[in-house]
Amino acid sequence: MAAPDTARSRAAILQLTAERAGHCAFFFDFDGTLAPIQEDPDTVHPAAGIVEVLAEVNRRLGKVVIVSARPADFLRQRFAALPDVAVFGLYGLEVQRPGGLVETDPSAAPFVQVMSDLADRARAELPAGTRVEYKRLSVAVHYRNAPHLAAEVEQWGKQRASDLGLRVQAGRMVVELKPPGQRDKGSVLREETEGHSCAWYFGDDVADLRAFDALTAREEADPDFVGVRVAVANAESGHALIEAADIHVDAPEDVPALLRALLDQAP
Ligand SMILES: [Mg+2]
């Protein structure tokens, strides 16, 4: 069971949002939020009903934006049926806006070769059971199939990040190395909520806390702004995310019903 919703009731949140239909923005992480996690990350697809409900939210309530650790090209493939939706990849280092090409954050562009070399090194140095995912501007090392290697992978990541001046991003059964700089899900939220009076963010992992925090900061600066943090929570998500959320659901498969309840209230 998900934890009970706190503070504002879910009914009140739906009402406040429906009143702002057309002025809202809806941000979604991908893995673990819209798509059930799989042992092989290449086989992850949106849960049943997700694409259809996102299309309706985008049309009736406000823009839908995907903000993920995946490359933008991967996200575009998964949401090919939603050409009007912007996809931010690699925690915002890449963006593909409707009708546009993939744009790379200028701060990250010099790291393509560094990351290619790092991926080769990870494959050579890390033990069997780990899975190295090279994403052009970052390298993720998954240990979902070998959880006992967590400490070893984390230590390897910290050391390489220190050697190369990179950032470490921990996640669910994954350690990721990213270019230095400030770009993250929080900065995407700060920019993309401009001009909106309401925004929701759906996430399942510690990296999503930055996005939650950006909504909270915006609410503190603008009392009329409604920020809604949704945790798609499970045992791997961590207490911080669960405690920071306004609404909890148990799994990606439960997201469509929540959005349908919101659509039912909208004009
Ligand atoms: Mg996730």
Q: What burial class does residue 167 get, using C-beta atoms within 10 Å of its C-beta: 0-12 exposed, 13-18 middle, 19+ buried? A: middle
64 and 88 in a single domain? The answer is yes
Q: Calculate the average pLDDT of the chain.
A: 94
**Ligand 1 centre and the CA of 44: distance in Å?**
12
Q: Quick one: pLDDT at residue 4?
A: 52
The catalytic residue among 5, 29, 73, 208 is: 29
Range of the domain at 167: 109-178
88-110 confidence digits (pLDDT tens): 999 999 999 999 999 999 999 89
**Hey, what amino acid is at 159?**
Q
CATH of the domain at 256: 3.40.50.1000
CATH of the domain at 151: 3.30.70.1020
**Ligand 1 centre and the CA of 125: distance in Å?**
26
| Alpha helix (H) residue ranges in the chain | 10-19, 50-60, 72-78, 112-125, 150-164, 185-192, 209-221, 239-244, 255-265
96 and 189 in a single domain? The answer is yes
Q: How many CB atoms within 10 Å of residue 195? A: 7
Query: Helix (H, G, I), strand (E, B), or coil: what is residue 171?
Result: strand
* Separation of alpha carbons 179 and 60, rounded Å: 37
128 and 250 in a single domain? The answer is no
Q: Quick one: pLDDT at residue 1?
A: 40
Residue 239 has pLDDT above 70, yes or no: yes
Number of domains observed in the structure of the chain: 2
Query: Helix (H, G, I), strand (E, B), or coil: what is residue 195?
Result: coil
Domain boundary among 126, 148, 178: 178
**Ligand 1 centre and the CA of 67: distance in Å?**
9
CA distances (Å), 82 to each of 49, 67, 68, 175, 256, in order? 13, 14, 16, 30, 16
Domain boundary among 178, 197, 231: 178
Q: Tell me if residue 204 is catalytic.
A: no
Using a pLDDT cut of 70, give the percent of the chain over it. Answer: 97
User: Is there a domain that residue 1 lies in?
Assistant: no
* Separation of alpha carbons 113 and 90, rounded Å: 16
186-235 confidence digits (pLDDT tens): 999 999 999 999 999 999 998 899 999 999 999 999 999 999 999 998 87
Domain boundary among 123, 145, 178: 178
Higher pLDDT, 267 or 254: 254
Residue 236 has pLDDT above 90, yes or no: no
20-61 confidence digits (pLDDT tens): 999 999 999 999 999 999 988 899 999 999 999 999 999 999
17 and 89 in a single domain? The answer is yes
**Ligand 1 centre and the CA of 32: distance in Å?**
5
116-157 confidence digits (pLDDT tens): 999 999 999 999 999 999 999 999 999 999 999 999 999 999
192 and 256 in a single domain? The answer is yes
**Ligand 1 centre and the CA of 267: distance in Å?**
31
93 and 169 in a single domain? The answer is no
